[in-house]
Amino acid sequence: MRSNIMRTLPLTAAAILLAAGTAHADIKLFRSPSGNINCMYDHSPGVVECQIPQPDRPIRPKPRDCKLDWGGNFSISRTGRTQMGCVGDSLASPDSRVLPYGQTLRGDGWQCTSRTSGMTCTNSQNHGFEISRRRQRLF
């Protein structure tokens, strides 16, 4: 069930961002200064999701039922463990807010910090992920 949700989140984000009056939409996009890591958050379910295109080496094997891209999509909610997603859409957008290196963006029960070494996102239970093209770590 979770993988189906992760497949639809980017599509939902795109649909909302393209709709009229998006200034008050719950879904927001941000990225690392290099543009290598793209993220979105949704206040409604309290989820933050980040993508790295074409990771050097995914940390988990691709599930047999995943027919889309694998290994570069990570998400957390306010509580619980990090999820990896099987996705077909990109979160990259020219409208994404740049999260400067050394800065932290806080949401409802989560936070993400941009560093030159990658993006680290954690939730209120100290679960999360640290990702870059070279390395992905779940905790």
- In order, the DSSP letters of 37-59 are -EEEEETTTTEEEEE-SS-SS-S
Q: Report the alpha-carbon distance of residue 100 to residue 93 in Å, rounded.
A: 16
Structure confidence at residue 27 (pLDDT): 75
Q: Is the pLDDT of residue 49 over 50?
A: yes
The predicted-structure confidence for 94-132, as pLDDT tens digits, reads as follows 999 999 999 999 998 999 999 999 999 999 999 999 999
Q: Report the alpha-carbon distance of residue 92 to residue 57 in Å, rounded.
A: 20
Looking at the DSSP bridge assignments, the partners of residue 27 are 42
Q: Where are the domains of the chain?
A: 2-138
Structure confidence at residue 4 (pLDDT): 47
Which residues neighbour 106 within 8 Å (Cβ) at sequence distance 6 or greater? none
- C-alpha distances in Å from residue 12, one per residue of 6, 29, 48: 10, 12, 14
- In order, the DSSP letters of 17-34 are HHSTTGGG-SEEEEE-TT
Looking at the DSSP bridge assignments, the partners of residue 131 are 119, 136
Q: Which amino acid is at 47?
A: V
The predicted-structure confidence for 7-16, as pLDDT tens digits, reads as follows 444 444 443 3
